[in-house]
Every structure is written in C-alpha cells, then in structure tokens.
Structure 1
Amino acid sequence: MAGFPFLPLLLVALYASLAHAAPWPLHARHATHRVRQIGRGLEVKAFHPKSTFQTFGKGIDQPIPEGFANSLTPPAINDSAVTFMQAQLGVDAAHVGYRAGLSDGSRKFAYVKQVHDGVPFANAVANMAWKDGKVVAFGSSFVDINSISKIADSNPTLDVNSVIPTTEAALDGRFNDQPPTLEYLVNEDGSVALTHVFQIRNETAGTWFEAYVCAHTGQLLSVTDFVAHASYTVLPIQKQTFPAGQETLTDPQDLFASPFGWHSNGTDNTTETTGNNVAAFVGGRVSAETSAGLNFNVKYDDTKDPTAASNIQAATNNAFYIANTVHDFTYRYGFTEKTFNFQDSNFGKGGKEGDRVVVSVQDASGLNNANFATPPDGQSGVCRMFIWDFTDPRRDGSLENDIIVHEMTHGVTSRMTGGGTGRCLQTTEAGGMGEGWSDAMANWVSQKSAQVEDFVVGQYVTNKPAAGIRSHPYSTDPEVNPLRYSSVAQLNEVHNIGEVWANMLHNVYAVLVAERGFSTTALTNPDTTEGNVVFMHLFLDALLLQPCNPTFVDARDAWIQADENRYNGANKCTLFKAFASRGLGLNAGPDFVDNADVPAGC
C-alpha cells in the first residue's frame, strides 16, 4: 500500500507531456509507442523515436576515418562507425557513442548511441552493417539536437538512491543491484529528459523492468519490459507435442555449439539439469541424473497431474533438452558469443558471459502461459513455463515443444536486434513481430519434409488440435489463414500482430522450400542450400541488420539485404513475391495498406 500515493503523480508525469502532442496515426503509434498496464493500476506509455532504415544492396563506400588514409592497418569498427555517422547524419564525433560491435568474416556490425554533454541517449540509437568493407545497411533513431524544444541539464539534481524506493513501489518489485546508468531519454513532445536507468524485478510475479526515472524530478518516464509473454516432454525437438511420443536420445548435444557438452563449462561439471547454457528446475530444485553417466531417463505420464514426482522430473529434463537444443542450432546459424547469446562461459570468443538461460518449469507465478525475460548481454535470460488447466488432468507447457521454442526465440530476437541490449523490440509493432518470430521458429523446427504443413500453436495444452491458441493455423492458403499486412490496422495487441508476421514468414518459408528443397539435417548443418537452411540463415542475419524497434517494412528490407549479403541476392524475387502475396510488397508504406508490387525483373 505504501506505493499508492506515488501513482497519481506518476500518471500525471507520464501524460503531461502528451497533452499538447498532435494525434498519432495508428501506424506511427505502433512504430514508436507501447502502452503497458503495470502492477496496481499503473499505465505507462513508452515512446521511442522513429527509426529510419536503409539497405544498400552491394554496398556503398564510406569516408575513410581520420588517420587511416595512408595506413596499412584497417580502421577499427568503432572508428568506421563514428566516421560513417558523421557523414550520414552530419553529427559531430562527440555526439556519437560506440556501444558494441562484432566482426564475422567479411561482415561487420556496429551499434552506437547518440551522446550529449557526455551522456548517452537511451532511445536515440543507430546500427550499421558492412560487407567486404562497404556499408550495406544503416538504421537510426538519432534526433536533431538543434530542433529539440528542451534538453535537461546533464548534472542530476537527485541521487539515484533517492528515487529507487518509490520506483520499486510503483513497479511492485525490487532493485536488483545491477549498476544504474545516467542516460538521456527523448520524450514524445520533443523534449529530452535526464534519467536514472536501473532494473526493478519481482521474481515471484515474474516481472522485470528497466525504469527510466527523471534525475531532476523523480518522475517515472518510461520502462523497458524484459519479459516477453506467450499465450502456449524428452520429445525430440522436431516433435511438437507429447502425443507424438517420447524417445530416448543419446548424446543430442552439438559439440560445435557446446564444446564441453550440456553439463560443463569446461571447468565445472554437473550431473543435474544445469550447465553452461541452461539451468532448469522446478521450485528451485534441479533434476538429477537417474543413473551414472548423465542419464536422465524418466517418462512423463500425462494421465497424471504434472505435479506427480516423476512428471516433475521428466518435464524438467525436457525443458533442459529443448532449451539447450535451441541454443545449439541457433549457434550454428549465428547466435554466438559475439552476437550476444546466453552462456556462463564464452570460452574467450567474445561477448559478456555469466548469463545462461534459467528455466523455471511449472512456475508458480501463473497458469496457461509462458514467458521469457531478456535483460542485456551478461545477465541471465529467464524462461518461465507454466501448467495449463484447460484439461483434466492438467497439462504441462514444458511437454509442448513449440511453447519452449517460442520462448527461447524471444531471447534470440531481443538480443540480436539492437546489439544485445534487450531494449529494441519495445514498440507495439516491433513487440508484435517478436511474437511472430517466436511462432515462426517453432514452426521451422516442426516441419519434417518438403511438404509444408499448416502449423497450429498450443494445440496440446489446450486440447484443440485444429485451433490451438492463435486465431488461425499458419498456412499458405488464404482460406485457412486470411491475415495480411492490412490486418495490422485493426490490431493493437502484440500476439495478434505477431500472427500476421508469423504467417508471412510461413509463406516465405514455403516458397523457399518449394524452390530449393528441404534438408533433413538443417538443425546441425547450416552449410547447404536447401530452402529451410536458407530461411534460417536469413532469419538470424536479418536480426543483426534491422534497426532498433523495426517495422514490418524494415524487417522485410532486412531480409532482402540479408539475402544480398549471404546469397548475392539469389532469392530476392522469391522473397519479395512471398511478402507481396500477403500485402507487404515493394511499395508498402507504414500505414498498413496492402501492396502487391515487386521489383522490376521479378
């Protein structure tokens, strides 16, 4: 109750700056805003400056960084990034803060923040990508400092420790001791606030926020929500649901992605469902091996309640297996230490470590759901899997593989978009696509042949094989799934928007497989050219290219540029036709009007 007096003040602060703003059209709200209901009646409207995004096909040259004109040593990524930003946006080098970068063969990626008076901006960011030394993509939400109506003094009036207690009360959680930062925040009315940024978490309720509190007034101005929710035993990962049948698998780990297996970080070894990539447990208790030699052989019995002792162990084993398998196959396709993945030890390969995924099976904080929290690189992702009570006996979400894959994919997309911050899928539109990517990944692992099947999410836990938890199965048949780009105009909830994006990707997948065939070894061999392999390469490559808080159009363009980068544009027309078949054609704009155009020559 102590937090209630603070709530009206917060609401006044959140909306005072919005009162005089011009009405935002739907497409602009989706691309820049997100409204969240938090805790005890608190409504928070977050704002993100609109990102612009350009792709450059074969690439464009950029100015040579100062001091490297006659140097035999190539410039570092940070030098190239700052120089390009200066040329592209006309900003001074002092206003560009290099945050992260990575190099992968002929490809390089950089992520920067706008800076003023030595303080970085939280929501004015940029990213760029190079191939063979040429710039191939550039996204930016930088703002024109000269046009800003008011920018706060860079010296805080309030100490961060003075604003943490009231923010804890407002967000119904506790400060988790991650070091706070001081960052500027662009407001919707064009002003810029100085904010203390810190994390508030409630492990019991499963919430995890990054709060932006004005360093001069103490008002809560915005939040980043690290938790992505979904409405979703050992089963081989290609089997979607429990009735497909459990199997005993021998050594399923991929030693390329997990060089010391799933129960070791190279130094410490375990005989439980803990390891370098994942720790899985129920109520804080991990599952121990059933016999020496890392054997975890307990069958699940769904004629009994999930809380039966043997079922608890079997469900934990399955969650551990699926989460590790997702780690391993996404590693093969590019979600590695350098690109901000989840591992306790990174074996000296880059990125921040100490952040394996924690999976809470049969989590007590909810029912009929699942969620995944994606904090920045270096902090563990947290997956919560719930029991579903639509049937008698109840069913365990950890026994439906598409649910776990969906949740793990939130970690992939939130880390790879925007350079490992976990902040860059926060608008309504981008958050919706986050849900769509997760369904699309679950769809991908469930397809078994070149005969692309319709895909139903959540069919086992709901006992609805034909319907599941989405409005339609994912399908290439418009009679089965009529969702198109224009459908988004009528939607404002992220899972519903995600269905549109996931169905588009289902259609992209289908045409790639129809043209290139299907690989039965796609989970472990990314070096072939079948359609399902190409699809997953473009899926992950595009995440690195797209801007912070992308739109449907941005994400489509990132797929096209990813194909140019990896396959020399061989699939450009195939991709465009697939997107256009569902309204996201060449000339589709941000206003959710269908367009069927494709480039000349297609």
Structure 2
Amino acid sequence: MYIHPGLILHSLTGLVILLGLFPEKCMSRIESFGPNRSDRTYEIVADGQTERSTSDTDLSIASGYESSQSLLSDKPRRRPSRSRGAQRARGQRHDLQNTWAVQQAKIFIQHKFAITDNEFYVSSSVRSRFGVTHVYFGQLVKGIPVQNGVMNVNVDDDGEILSYGNSFTTAKSPHETRENLHRRGTKGDQDFTPQHALLVLLVHLEYETLSLDKIQVETSTSDELVAVYTLYLPQEILAAGYEISAYLSYLADDKGKLDMGYYIHFHEGETSLEAFVSEHSRQVTTIVNWSADASYRVYPMGTPSPAEGDQVLVVNPEDGQASPRGWSIVSSQENATTTNGNNVHAQENWAGTPEWKNKYRPQADTSQSFNYPFQDSSEVRDGVDAALTNLFYWCNLLHDIFYHYGFNEEAGNFQDVNFDKGGQGNDGVVAFAQSGSKGNSAVFTTPPDGRQPTMRLSIWTPAGTARDAALSSDIIIHEYTHGVSTRLTGGVKNVGCLGWDEAAAMGEGWGDVFAAVLHMGTEDSRDKTIAIGSYVTGGKGLRAYPYSTDMKVNPVTYADVHRRNTPFRNSHEIGLIWGSMLYEVYWNMVDVLGFTDRWHSASLEHGNTLWIQLVVAGMQFQPCYPTFLQARDAILQAETKITGNRNQCLIWRGFAKRGLGYGASYDGVKRKADTSLPPQCEE
C-alpha cells in the first residue's frame, strides 16, 4: 500500500497481532484480486537512441556542466573517486538530473492528459545507469488518492519522453461533500467508518465476527489532507507485532468508475495484504497479498541443492561495491559472528512466529568461517546450521548481483543501512529457515521501501522425507526475485502493481526463470531442462512442465493463459508461460552473444548478463499492472535504449515462438496468440 508523504504521517503505529482466531489458517494462500481495467495503456513515444556508448561500462558524471540538461560524459567510466567530496558532488548532480527529469515528466502528463497539479502527486523516481529516469505518479480526485490510479513516465537525460504507462481514470468524484469531511479528519457520516470496513475485511478473511465497539481507532492527519486511522483489536486476542491501518480512498472499477471506501493495510503472521472495502457495496473489492508465495560452506551456483552435488567452501564472496561493509556487519557494529548482516538476517523459525531478533543462528569460527557440512538426517533440525548458512549466502549473493543491474539503494533494494546513496534503508531481508507455521511453503512478503521484507521457507515432505527449502537455492532465488520485481514495478512505494491476473503471473515467471538462469554454466546449452523445486518435490518439480526450449517437453504458449480445462488458471502456472518466453529469449541471446560466469559484471557484451539487464530494466519501464504484451514491449524498449536495437530480433523470436509475437493482442477480455515477427526480423 502506498500513501504519499504529503498525505499521511511518515510512519504508522499500532502494532497488533490476531491470535487464536483460526490458528491453522494459511494467510499466504489468500488470492489477490481486483478490477481488470481495459483502459490501462502503455505507449512508447520515442526510441531513446543516442550517440552514447553502449558498452558494459557505466556512463560517468561529467567533470563540469553548465545546465542540468548536460550531466553525462560520452566516455567510458573510470573508477570513481572514493573521496567524500567527490561522492557528494556526484550525489548533487544525480539529484539535479533526477529533479529536472521529474519536472519534464510532470509537464508531459499535464499537457498530454490536460490535468492540473492538484490531480496527481509524485510517488517516487529513480534514475538508471543508462540515463533514463523512471518517474511514478499517483492520481488524486479532489484531494483523495485513487488507489489504482498510477502513471509512470520514462524520461531520457536529454528530456525526451521515451514511454509512459497510464491507469489514471477520467471519472469524477460522486461524493464531494463527504470527501471534504474526511479530508479534514472529521467524523463525517458515521454509517460507514474504518471500523465497519475492518469488520467487512475480517469476515471476508473468515475470522470470527467482532462487535463494532470492540475495535478502537486513532486518527492521524498530515497537512490536513487525508486521515489515517490506526485500528486496534481487543487485548485478549492480540499481541505485539501486528499492524492495521486504514485511509479513505477511491478505487476505479473495471469500467474506470470511482468507488469510495477504505484502503486497509493488514499484517497477519506470514502475510501482509492490502484491501479495498467499498462503502457502496460493503464488500471487499480488491486484495493485494504482499506475500508471494567471510567463508561459507554452501551449495554454490550450478548446484541448486543436495540432489545436484556437494557443498563448497566459498571464501570472501562479498562484492565491495554492492556491500561496502561486507555481509556480516550489523549497523555500526563490528563483524557479526552469526548469519546476521546489513542485507540479510537469517535465523530459524521453529515456532512459526514473526519475532526474529532473538532466534537461533549459527556461529562462525575464529577465522570467520561458517563451515557446516550438511548431513542428511531424519531430524531436519540437525541440519539447521548448514541450512541457515546456505540461506544467508544466497540472499546476500542475490543482493550483490541484482545491485549491478539497477536494483540499488535508490531503486528500493533491501539494506538496513544505505550509505547515503538514496532510498529509505531499514529493510534488510528477514529470512527464516525451517519456518514452523506451515509446511510445504515458501513465502516472500514485500512491503514498500523502508520496511523489512520477510522470506519464510518451511520443511517440505512431498518427496516422502523431510527436505529443507533453505538448502534449495532455486526456491531462494524465486522468492527473492519476488521482492525485486515488486519494488521495481510501479516505484518503491507502490507494491501492489503485481497483485493479480497476468501481472501476478509474471511475478511467478520472473522468479522461476531467474532460478533457472542463475544456475547456468559455460557447459550448458539450450537442450537443458530444468524443474523448479526439484529437490523439495523429489524430482517432480513445482510446475506442470519443466523449463525447456523443446516444445515437446514444454508446449506452453500465450494461447494457454486462462484456458479452460488446463492447469493454467492460477498465477503460478500462468507464470510458467511467461517464464518460458523469457527462457527462450535467454537462449537466443546466449547462442549469439555467448556466456560469461562473471555475473556481477553486468556485461552488455554477453548473452546471459545482457538478458538480466534487459529483464530488470524492463521492470522499471513497464507500467503498473502490466500485461504480458506491455512487459514484452518494455523489454524491447529497454533493449533499444541500452544496445540500440542490435538484439531486438533475438527478443522477438523468443516471444513469438511462445505465441507473443508481432500480431498477438489482448483487449482485456480475449487474448490472441500469434507467432509472427515484425518485418525487420523476417529472414
């Protein structure tokens, strides 16, 4: 949930938890849903090609400039100075460019859509290393936020608008008088209060019914614009560690019409969700579930789990640029001797509770080595040291790799301390192994920037014996990638953009395909077949088909999305379709451009690293609530900007093979699969 800083207090209080209502309820199973609006658009305005270098070296800040329109040098980047003065100068120039780009984006949307300053607000912005600033806006109607009114504008450094995505509605407010009451934080009409809305949500979530007078409420306002309500449940059924808050909002329905109600943020154990409760219908009309589903002895790249090989003792794997103080530094303290650091806090969760600071972690020896060989045992707790070491290693490794492709502090990555490089901080990943709350599950909860995400990995038993998901790095990669795609799509403060339908499915597909790709090696070829979750399922895998470029092994296409009498009716299986398209693109690029095992290099000259760069950049280009078609186009536009159309046809051929070709279409109701290529790619 995002409420922009001009509307509310910067932090919400009132942490509570529901106990004993339905202990067996698995909140992570709650399906997200919401309006399927066909009026959402994504349009490419310009190709964004420039004379600048497209090598894998970053573009450097020029040593001097006369205006904010000329901040970048065309020369390859030199190693930046580490002096405080140089760092401060780079930050000031970056801020100047970012501010100017935001102004250009504001001017564009005001002229393009004939809207005024009081009809939108700037949610966030982030500038990529390729000279594109991604600016995110939220919609206001008479001062009230429209929860699914989101716009993103992609601006080149010369001020050129490259593309935009728009889900602003043109509907007007039907209840101006009542809105103004709520904007001032006054009581207004008592027929439908935040307490009423919470009761509706509790019933929808199948909790026991409470009487209205049992719910206490506190009201906070900021700038006298909108009231934020913090809600408390009775003492006998709550404990520390819980948060419920609500605020007045609009939601645009399937036809773009406005519905007034309360948007509620609701955190329960393994799941955080946001929901819209309509004042008119007294029903829940939208839910976005935020949860998707030294030296270290670990299962390294190329060895996803104990089933594929042995552990290796990896020495000094930290990346100095992504993790300047290493992995085992906690805040301003000296080296930690446990799996606890700036990027990740890894611990057991046998009790299945949200508290994490005082739970068990393995200790490093005097040489700062986490050397715990895994020994298969019927008692899985015997392997907790090896599991936590593996979990800590992989979450940190992913942090460092994604950092070089643009998921850095400013873009909302996961760090407690951001070293004055932008972003909010205070959000290193809380990673639980052997989570006892629910078996056979893996969950990643992604709140907005500045709030800690949580990864919960449980013990799995489908294989007939208990297997620890924290030893299966493909599952760790899948879950961590949920956090990356959620923070990058729609901006760091709007984490609901991948909530349902094709957007949610792509979240699953990105997780799968990164889990497959990040275990590729120099000896692998497009003949390789990969079953995600093979270890925890005894070799079967978690999807209907494995990842393969062989259509006989994996036949999925765009035509299968929501097809009746098939497995492709939920986000995980539809995600297999999206992931399979990207897997085709990956091999097209590797076959032509080759492979490098230097994953941190973010090289634009090798197929595997360029593929990661384009997919990650595409997440920032694409609009909120993207469709397959819009996400495909965002990747294509990212390629145009980054490598100047040299690899367009490799991308087109991958998508076209799986039915998302040049003539594919989706009008919000019907999908048309197509395998044709654009004219420039026809042989």
TM-score of the aligned structures, taking structure 2 as reference length? 0.75
Q: 1-side partners of 2:321 and 2:127: how far apart?
A: 19
Give the C-alpha shift of residue 394 in structure 1: 1.0
Match of 2:137 among 107, 112, 122: 112
Q: 2-side partners of 1:193 and 1:415: how far apart?
A: 27
Cα 1:271–1:39 shift into 2, 3 Å: closer
Which residue of 2 is the match for residue 564 of structure 1? 640
Give the C-alpha shift of residue 413 in structure 1: 0.5
The answer to whether structure 1 residue 306 and structure 2 residue 380 are counterparts is yes
Which residue of 2 is the match for residue 194 of structure 1? 260
Which residue of 2 is the match for residue 86 of structure 1? 110
Letter in 1 for 2:262: H
Which residue of 2 is the match for residue 235 of structure 1? 299
Match of 2:34 among 29, 40, 46: 46
Cα 1:514–1:307 shift into 2, 3 Å: same
Q: 1-side partners of 2:428 and 2:244: how far apart?
A: 17
Q: 2-side partners of 1:548 and 1:139: how far apart?
A: 7
The answer to whether structure 1 residue 339 and structure 2 residue 411 are counterparts is yes
Q: 1-side partners of 2:42 and 2:652: how far apart?
A: 18
Cα 1:448–1:44 shift into 2, 3 Å: closer
Q: Is the CA contact 1:149–1:191 (under 8 Å) kept in the aligned structure 2?
A: no
Q: Is the CA contact 2:33–2:500 (under 8 Å) kept in the aligned structure 1?
A: no
Identity %: 31
SS at structure 1 position matched to 2:399: helix
Which residue of 1 is the match for residue 503 of structure 2? 430
Give the C-alpha shift of residue 91 in structure 1: 2.0
The answer to whether structure 1 residue 292 and structure 2 residue 369 are counterparts is no
SS at structure 1 position matched to 2:337: coil
Which residue of 2 is the match for residue 469 of structure 1? 542
Give the C-alpha shift of residue 364 in structure 1: 1.0
Give the C-alpha shift of residue 583 in structure 1: 1.0
Q: 2-side partners of 1:348 and 1:172: how far apart?
A: 44
Letter in 1 for 2:571: V
Give the C-alpha shift of residue 290 in structure 1: 3.5
Match of 1:131 among 153, 156, 179: 156
Q: 2-side partners of 1:553 and 1:598: how far apart?
A: 14
Cα 1:571–1:151 shift into 2, 3 Å: farther
Letter in 2 for 1:47: P
Q: Is the CA contact 2:28–2:292 (under 8 Å) kept in the aligned structure 1?
A: no
* Residue ranges of structure 2 left out of the alignment (5+ in a row): 1-17, 19-24, 51-65, 70-98, 183-188, 208-230, 233-241, 350-355
Q: 2-side partners of 1:396 and 1:40: how far apart?
A: 19
TM-score of the aligned structures, taking structure 1 as reference length? 0.85
Which residue of 2 is the match for residue 599 of structure 1? 678
Which residue of 1 is the match for residue 393 of structure 2? 321
Residue deviations 1:53-76, cap 9 Å, x none? 112342499xxxxxxxxx955563
Cα 1:560–1:40 shift into 2, 3 Å: closer
Give the C-alpha shift of residue 304 in structure 1: 3.4
Which residue of 1 is the match for residue 272 of structure 2? 208
SS at structure 2 position matched to 1:513: helix
Q: 1-side partners of 2:643 and 2:142: how far apart?
A: 43
Which residue of 2 is the match for residue 351 of structure 1? 423
Give the C-alpha shift of residue 427 in structure 1: 2.1
Give the C-alpha shift of residue 238 in structure 1: 3.0
Q: 2-side partners of 1:499 and 1:199: how far apart?
A: 30
SS at structure 1 position matched to 2:641: helix
Letter in 2 for 1:482: P
Residue deviations 1:516-571, cap 9 Å, x none? 0001112x211341100110000100000001111110011011000001111111
Q: Is the CA contact 2:244–2:267 (under 8 Å) kept in the aligned structure 1?
A: no
Cα 1:77–1:177 shift into 2, 3 Å: farther
Cα 1:189–1:596 shift into 2, 3 Å: closer
Q: 1-side partners of 2:311 and 2:100: how far apart?
A: 50
SS at structure 1 position matched to 2:287: strand
Which residue of 2 is the match for residue 281 of structure 1? 347
Give the C-alpha shift of residue 160 in structure 1: 3.7
SS at structure 2 position matched to 1:601: helix
| More off after superposition, 217-226 vs 510-519 | 217-226
Q: 2-side partners of 1:86 and 1:46: how far apart?
A: 28
The answer to whether structure 1 residue 182 and structure 2 residue 206 are counterparts is no
Give the C-alpha shift of residue 401 in structure 1: 0.8
Q: 1-side partners of 2:305 and 2:591: how far apart?
A: 26
Cα 1:72–1:428 shift into 2, 3 Å: same
Q: 2-side partners of 1:479 and 1:250: how far apart?
A: 42
Letter in 2 for 1:599: P
RMSD: 2.7
The answer to whether structure 1 residue 419 and structure 2 residue 419 are counterparts is no
Match of 2:310 among 245, 269, 282: 245
Match of 1:99 among 123, 126, 130: 123
Which residue of 1 is the match for residue 439 of structure 2? 367
Q: 1-side partners of 2:395 and 2:32: how far apart?
A: 32
Cα 1:598–1:312 shift into 2, 3 Å: same
Which residue of 2 is the match for residue 492 of structure 1? 569
Map 1:14-25 onto structure 2 (within 5 A).
none
Match of 1:551 among 615, 627, 633: 627
SS at structure 2 position matched to 1:263: coil
Give the C-alpha shift of residue 178 in structure 1: 6.8
Q: 2-side partners of 1:298 and 1:38: how far apart?
A: 32
Which residue of 2 is the match for residue 9 of structure 1? none
Aligned residues: 547
| More off after superposition, 155-164 vs 89-98 | 155-164
Match of 1:254 among 319, 343, 347: 319
Cα 1:412–1:39 shift into 2, 3 Å: closer
Match of 2:100 among 76, 91, 111: 76
Q: Is the CA contact 1:126–1:141 (under 8 Å) kept in the aligned structure 2?
A: yes
Give the C-alpha shift of residue 469 in structure 1: 1.7
| More off after superposition, 181-190 vs 130-139 | 181-190
Q: Is the CA contact 1:226–1:422 (under 8 Å) kept in the aligned structure 2?
A: yes
Which residue of 1 is the match for residue 579 of structure 2? 502
Cα 1:168–1:356 shift into 2, 3 Å: farther
SS at structure 2 position matched to 1:46: coil
Q: Is the CA contact 1:418–1:547 (under 8 Å) kept in the aligned structure 2?
A: yes
SS at structure 1 position matched to 2:328: coil
| More off after superposition, 148-157 vs 434-443 | 148-157
Residue deviations 1:33-67, cap 9 Å, x none? xxxx9969998852253421112342499xxxxxx
Q: 2-side partners of 1:44 and 1:447: how far apart?
A: 33
Which residue of 1 is the match for residue 338 of structure 2? 272
Cα 1:41–1:537 shift into 2, 3 Å: closer
Cα 1:119–1:48 shift into 2, 3 Å: farther
Give the C-alpha shift of residue 199 in structure 1: 1.9
SS at structure 2 position matched to 1:366: coil
SS at structure 1 position matched to 2:485: helix
Which residue of 2 is the match for residue 25 of structure 1? none
Q: Is the CA contact 1:333–1:537 (under 8 Å) kept in the aligned structure 2?
A: yes
Give the C-alpha shift of residue 152 in structure 1: 8.4
Residue deviations 1:447-492, cap 9 Å, x none? 112523221111111112xx41211111111111111111114132
Give the C-alpha shift of residue 87 in structure 1: 2.0
Give the C-alpha shift of residue 390 in structure 1: 2.3
Cα 1:170–1:294 shift into 2, 3 Å: farther
The answer to whether structure 1 residue 512 and structure 2 residue 586 are counterparts is no
